[in-house]
Structure 1
Amino acid sequence: MTNPDAKDACKHTSLYLDVSPHASKAGFKRPNKRQRISAATQEGRVLKEIELLTCKELVEDEMAFPGPLVLPGDDLAEDPESPPQDFNEWRDEEERNPVTQERKTIYIVSSPLIEKSLSKMQAWSVCSSRNSAKKQDTEAVSPPDIRDIVEYLSAFFYGMDVKIFKQPFHWQKWDSYEGAVLKSSNTEKRIGLRTPSEELFGIRCRASPDGVSPMQVNLNDVLDALAENIPSDAHSIMILLDQDMYEGDGDIFCAGRAYGGSRIAAVSKFRDQPLCAPRDNGHAWPSSHCAAYI
């Protein structure tokens, strides 16, 4: 099916790589190139003989490191005085989990398999919002394969091993609840999450407050289950969920949470589905870097 608005769609022919004009109105001033290079060094200043993991030419390349747009409503627009984090502050973080020869592997856990007893849960990973993007605009987009995610993380965490956790987790019934979509987000039920060690954890779930997802699972409960299954050689372990998540009663949703000191993380892929994206004028990030839009 062809999008009737396609002929009028912006082609994004020119990129805008600096802060937007709104940045100055918000009171944000972007650090200059020298300040940015200084922040990436152990010495905190630019020396004649300087060694950077990222070469100086790339740091100065706007295509490699574009500026934050600072558009209305962005975090930096709301809090332009938020202190930046330089290399030394990042390195000296007290809760940092050290990388050692014994623990240098990042494990990625696929979304748990759904048992037949909880087959109604299959619908939880399907976007249900009426305000979502048009289906014809997203038909060509396939969900990322876990092997692609591993490849990306391997490049990001250069020098560390990134592996798929081979032993599957399973969703199953906890009690009599069979996974039917609840009518109110104020009502919580529990489903079971069975780990590779055959332990069964009760995971709270509820209807989504904003209606984008049919149901959500509680990320803290998921992390409790994950924490009991950390391999001995793991630097950290992350579980990817097809389902939407929430953390507390006041949350609309929570895309993910990592506890570095505990070496665990949970990330939901649900809201990254193009169908879950709100309708826009074609300039949602990263297309917001279009010069015509700015």
Structure 2
Amino acid sequence: MTQQCPHRTLQVEPSAYAHEVGFEWQSPTQRLAATTRSGRVPILSGASIGGSSSGGGRRREGADEPVVTQVAKDLLASFPGPLVLPTDELAWDPGYEPQSFQSWSRDKTRNRPTAARKTLYVAAVPEITEEVGFMREWLRPQSPGAACSYPELKSPDLDDYVAYLGAFYHGFIVKPFPQKLRFVSWDQRDRSGKFQYVGLATEDGNCTRIRARTAPDKVFSKQLNLADVLDAEISMLPKDAYAMALLVDHDLYEDEEDDFCCGRAYGLNRVCVVSTARYHPILDDGAKLDLEHVWPASHCKAFVNGQCAEADVHRGTRAVAVSAKSPMRAAIQAASQIRHDENMSSSSAVAAAYLRTLWFSRLVRTVSHELGHNLYLDHCVYYACMMQSTTGMAEDLRQPPYLCPVCLAKIVHKVVVELQRGDGENTAKKDAYILERYEALAQVCERWKEVGLFVGFQVWLRSRIELVRNERNQNS
């Protein structure tokens, strides 16, 4: 058994490297104001701010700066700031423009659900028919870093995606796409010699040409063109769909400059696609991932300092005390009980089940993210958040599965006001929705107890529920 990091101190503010690259974190006042439609600071209660878009007790705007600062600090125990480590997306683009709840709500181009269009569909991985049986070889990693000793795994079940997304986007109807998709042959030839063509067919007779190219980084032999897959998805979007996610097992690319692309959303078209390929645990060894410091342990201060030191940044950041009973600390303690090495040294059946759930945990977070874009959520810069952009698998695994207070405010409004036609000023109804959503997510996480992300997330959710309920009781 390897020595386990104790994660004694948590990093809840951006790293020292963030300062080096010029990332300017939003101030406490800006972060709190970004959760409201008015753009002003809401009720000053950490639990309530994190629990709904506008809180749930006494309303107070224009509060004293020390009170704002304390509430913002308390929130960090549940919602830490973005880490901004070397090679992270925000390190490359530190000036990315924030999307507040106010700017999101005022955007006239975003899609709104209707009584006839309120279903989120998830389409299963297309079948590879015998006429294109050669596509099965495209699924096999070619990288010498791939661990050949890993067991053969079947792609995660569609029912698991539907169950998780039904809780994550609580209030929407989440269903499997009703048609079976198939990859079929395509007779047309590419005269340039750059591409090979296959078809993506639906049961009702539609078929779209999909380009395939040789993968430039050689991790997989061939990749499918992401734009072609999304065009096919647009053509099959059901009339009652608010949005649709399509899963593919093949590696994807977007344009000639890409090595690969794990997923993409066309927000205005209400479709997104996610590839399972790069998330497969068989690639972990080659990617040299630090599996001991994936979320929630990605906020371990010793780990963050080590990452900064590798980039020759040795200046530390100030320590912020985090209670042992806080959601983040509780999540780390729970997730740390799940040991990757112990699961892998178990029987082949146990190891295979563990790896398949691990694979699913990575994928479903990305599917949730891409569907978030279909709900017109932009990349988040306010907190470490499920809607934060990433540059690769290492950063992807450091991001949380939850929505931060700003992004959560948008979903609350989308469901309670636009979907359920509720009163936008009814904070009690919004708080009730938040608790229902948290509870639904906590219950669905119970399905996958063998993976740290779900175990940690469930404990984080239970801790958040307790905080919000205690706050409501104090204000009642």
Q: TM-score, normalised by structure 2?
A: 0.53
Q: Tell me: CA distance 1:166–1:12, structure 2 relative to 1, closer, same or farther (3 Å).
A: farther
2-structure distance, mates of 1:158, 1:64: 21
How far apart, CA to CA, are the structure 1 residues paired with 2:248 and 2:151? 21
Q: Does 2:167 align with 1:155?
A: yes
Please say if residues 129 and 213 of structure 1, whose CA atoms lie closer than 8 Å, have aligned partners that are also in contact. yes
Aligned partners of 1:283 and 1:290 also within 8 Å: no
In structure 2, what residue type is equivalent to 1:115? Answer: T
Which stretch shifts more, 284-293 or 115-124? Answer: 284-293
Aligned-residue offset at 1:203: 1.0
Matching residue of 2:303: 293
Matched, 1:274 2:281: yes
Cα deviation for residue 168 of structure 1 reads 0.6
Deviations 1:5-49 (A, max 9, x none): x52564656543321121222222322443212101011111459
Unaligned runs of 5+ in 1: 1-5, 178-185
Equivalent residue, structure 2, for 1:66: 80
Match of residue 232 from structure 1: 239
Deviations 1:98-133 (A, max 9, x none): 11111000111011011112122122223221234x
Shift in CA distance, 83/195, structure 1 to aligned 2, threshold 3 Å:
same
Structure 1 pair 194–69 and aligned structure 2 pair: CA distance change class (3 A): same
What is the Cα deviation at residue 292 of structure 1? 2.1
Q: Residues 52 and 22 of structure 1: is their aligned pair in 2 closer, same or farther, counting only changes over 3 Å?
A: closer
**1:41 and 1:52 in contact (8 A); partners too:** no
1:85 is matched with which residue? 99
Q: Which secondary structure state, in structure 2, belongs to the residue aligned with residue 76 of structure 1?
A: helix
2:16 aligned residue (17, 21, 43): 21
Instruction: Return closer, same or farther for 1:63/1:197 CA change in 2, 3 Å cut-off.
Output: farther
Percent of matched pairs sharing the same residue: 36
Aligned length in residues: 279
Q: Residues of 1 paired with 2:19 and 2:143: CA distance?
A: 36
- What residue is the counterpart of 1:30 in the other structure? 25
Opposite residue 213 of structure 2, the aligned amino acid is R
Q: What CA deviation, in whole Å up to 9, does each residue of 1:62-82 have, x standing for no partner?
A: 343221111122222233232
| CA separation of 1:110 and 1:40: change in aligned 2, threshold 3 A | same
Letter in 2 for 1:247: E
Question: In 2, Cα distance between the equivalents of 1:48 and 1:264?
Answer: 36
Q: Does 1:95 pair with 2:90?
A: no
What secondary structure does 1:22 align onto? helix
- 1:131 touches 1:279 (CA, 8 Å); kept in 2? no
1:139 and 1:31 map into 2 onto residues whose CA distance is: 45
Report whether the alignment pairs 1:131 with 2:145. Answer: yes
Is the 1:283–1:293 Cα contact (8 Å) retained in structure 2? no
1:233 and 1:198 map into 2 onto residues whose CA distance is 20
- Check if 1:259 corresponds to 2:266: yes
CA contact (8 A) 2:36 2:42 kept: no
After the TM superposition, which of the residue ranges 74-83 and 116-125 deviates more from structure 2? 74-83
Q: 1:141 to 1:89 in 2, by over 3 A?
A: farther
Residue 172 (structure 1) aligned with residue 197 (structure 2) = no
Matched letter for residue 107 of structure 1: Y
After superposition, what is the alpha-carbon deviation per residue over 1:184-242, rounded to whole angstroms, capped at 9, x for unaligned? xx731101211121122221101111011221111121122222211111111121111
**Alpha carbons 1:114, 1:170 under 8 Å: kept:** yes
- What is the one-letter code of the residue matched to 1:149? Y
User: What is the root-mean-square deviation in Å for CA atoms of aligned residues?
Assistant: 3.0
Amino acid at match of 1:148: D
For 1:135 and 1:72, the matched residues in 2 are separated by 30
- Normalized against structure 1, the TM-score is what? 0.83
Partner amino acid, structure 2, of 1:262:
N
Query: Which residue does 1:180 correspond to in 2?
Result: none
Q: Does the Cα contact within 8 Å between 2:155 and 2:249 map onto a contact in 1?
A: no
Q: What's the CA shift for 1:245?
A: 0.8
Counterpart residue number, 2:51:
54
Q: What SS is found at the alignment partner of 2:137?
A: helix
Q: CA 1:29–1:202 in 2, change beyond 3 Å: closer, same or farther?
A: closer
Mapped contact 1:197–1:229 kept (Cα < 8 A): no
SS at match of 2:107: coil
Distance 1:194 1:142, change over 3 A: closer
* Equivalent of 2:253 in 212, 229, 246: 246
Change beyond 3 A, Cα 1:200–1:54: same
Residues 228-262 of structure 1, C-alpha deviations (whole Å, 9 max, x = no match): 21111111112111111112122211222211222
Q: Using the alignment, how far apart are the partners of 1:144 and 1:236 within structure 2?
A: 21
**Following TM superposition, by how much is the alpha carbon of 1:54 offset from its aligned partner in structure 2, in angstroms?**
2.6
